């Protein structure tokens, strides 16, 4: 009897260990703040380039300048995207940051597909691949005593 109980326990433990870990669901494409993955901080202010997509509009910071634009994505979930002309509010920055910004904007402008795996957005096209990571969620501001949430 003890041998049978031990065998059942071992089988259950083996099954629990063999169960694959579930990967968290991917971050949503829209409304997530996506930070461009760069080797080093590209600006003197140490602000990572970032973009937010939603309702056909994109906005962000490319390393030196604020950027806005329009995009169209497929409606069947194939991961296709077309980004229209980007409006760039030119701002002064050092030569290295300007080179990084130009590369980011050229790659973004040429993107024709995207995919999301957990918290990593990969955009690819004729200009190369741009890797972005979902920015950490900022904690909600504390509510003042007596205030309604």
Residue 129: inside a domain, yes or no?
yes
Determine the pLDDT at residue 16.
55
Q: Return the number of other C-beta atoms located less than 10 Å from residue 100's C-beta.
A: 23
Domain with 125, as residue range(s), is: 33-134
Dig out the tokens for 1 from the structure: 């009897």
Q: List, for residues 54-100, the tens digit of each pLDDT value.
A: 999 999 999 889 999 999 998 888 999 999 999 999 877 888 888 88
Cβ atoms of residues 136 and 126 within 8 Å: no
Residue 148: inside a domain, yes or no?
no
Which position has the higher pLDDT, 12 or 33? 33
Residue 63: inside a domain, yes or no?
yes
Determine the pLDDT at residue 47.
78
User: What CATH number did the domain enclosing 58 receive?
Assistant: 2.40.128.270
Dig out the tokens for 76 from the structure: 């069947």
User: Cβ neighbours of residue 114 under 8 Å, at least 6 residues apart?
Assistant: 29, 73, 79, 81, 121, 122, 123, 124
CA distances (Å), origin 43, targets 61, 89, 96, 107, 141: 11, 16, 8, 19, 28
Token pair 């169209």 is found at 72
Determine the pLDDT at residue 58.
97
Q: Is 57 left (phi over 0), alpha (psi -120 to 50) or beta?
A: beta
Residue 19: inside a domain, yes or no?
no
Residue 52: inside a domain, yes or no?
yes
Residue 13: inside a domain, yes or no?
no
Number of domains making up the chain? 1
Dig out the tokens for 10 from the structure: 């071992």
Residue 8: inside a domain, yes or no?
no
Whether residue 149 is predicted with pLDDT greater than 50 in this model: the reply is no
Q: Which helix (H) or strand (E) holds 123?
A: strand 120-125
Residue 2: inside a domain, yes or no?
no
């Amino acid at each position: 009897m003890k041998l049978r109980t031990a065998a059942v326990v071992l089988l259950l433990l083996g099954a629990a260990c063999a169960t694959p870990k579930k990967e968290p669901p991917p971050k949503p494409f829209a409304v997530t703040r996506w930070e461009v993955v760069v080797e080093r901080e590209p600006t003197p202010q140490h602000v990572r380039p970032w973009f937010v997509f939603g309702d056909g509009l994109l906005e962000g910071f490319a390393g030196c300048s604020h950027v806005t634009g329009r995009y169209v994505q497929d409606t069947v979930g194939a991961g296709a995207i077309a980004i229209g002309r980007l409006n760039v509010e030119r701002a002064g920055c050092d030569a290295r940051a300007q080179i990084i910004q130009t590369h980011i904007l050229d790659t973004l402008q040429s993107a024709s597909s995207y995919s999301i795996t957990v918290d990593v957005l990969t955009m690819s096209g004729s200009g190369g691949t741009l890797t972005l990571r979902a920015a950490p969620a900022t904690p909600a501001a504390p509510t003042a005593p007596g205030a309604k949430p």
